Amino acid sequence: MVSGSVSSNPCCWQHNNLSIKELVYPNRARRSCVFPVLTLPYSITPEGEAEFRRLLALNLSTYTPSKFPQDLGLAFADALPPSQVTQLLERRREMLQSELDTARLAPPHPGTLQFLVEHSIVHLTSELEWLDKVIAHFAKHTSEDNGKLDNISSARG
């Protein structure tokens, strides 16, 4: 059971907001035993059904370009030594691989829900392939920088 006032619970607030707009109405759950009955606290009104279908059509027909805020660091990666960037990106890669492994373990989902799982796997796989290329770039520059440092050291010697 969630505690707190209606105003502090975002889920309750949203349900109340939808109720005020007359898109949903409260259900009166009946209990036939001591165990709680799993019911949704609200049912959709005809107006709510129309709004749901409008929003669904809008969502299915609209393309929103993906944003990659975690890439902002790459714009400034030259401020760090390539070896450090490589280490940091390898840490990111481990997290990404874990996320992909988890997504691949998802059981088959009924109906069109399976498309969400597959979409996630496609994006995670693509992200992993791209990240491997970026890591290879910085790893190459790490070995080049090490060679330059060796040359500088031997020239001073």
Binning pLDDT at 50, 70 and 90, where does residue 66 land?
Answer: confident
CB 135 within 8 A of CB 89: yes
Across 114-135, average pLDDT: 96
Q: What value does the mean pLDDT of the chain take?
A: 78
CB contact at 8 A, 87 and 105: no
24 forms beta bridges with: 44
At 40, is the secondary structure helix, strand, or coil? Answer: coil
> What gap in Å lies between CA 42 and CA 25, rounded to an integer?
5
Length of the chain: 157
- Encode pLDDT of 87-105 as tens digits: 999 999 999 999 999 999 9
pTM over 0.75: no
pLDDT at 99: 97
User: CA-CA distance, 49 to 51, in Å (whole number)?
Assistant: 5
Report the SS3 class of residue 42.
strand
Rounded-to-10 torsion of CA 106, 107, 110, 113: 0
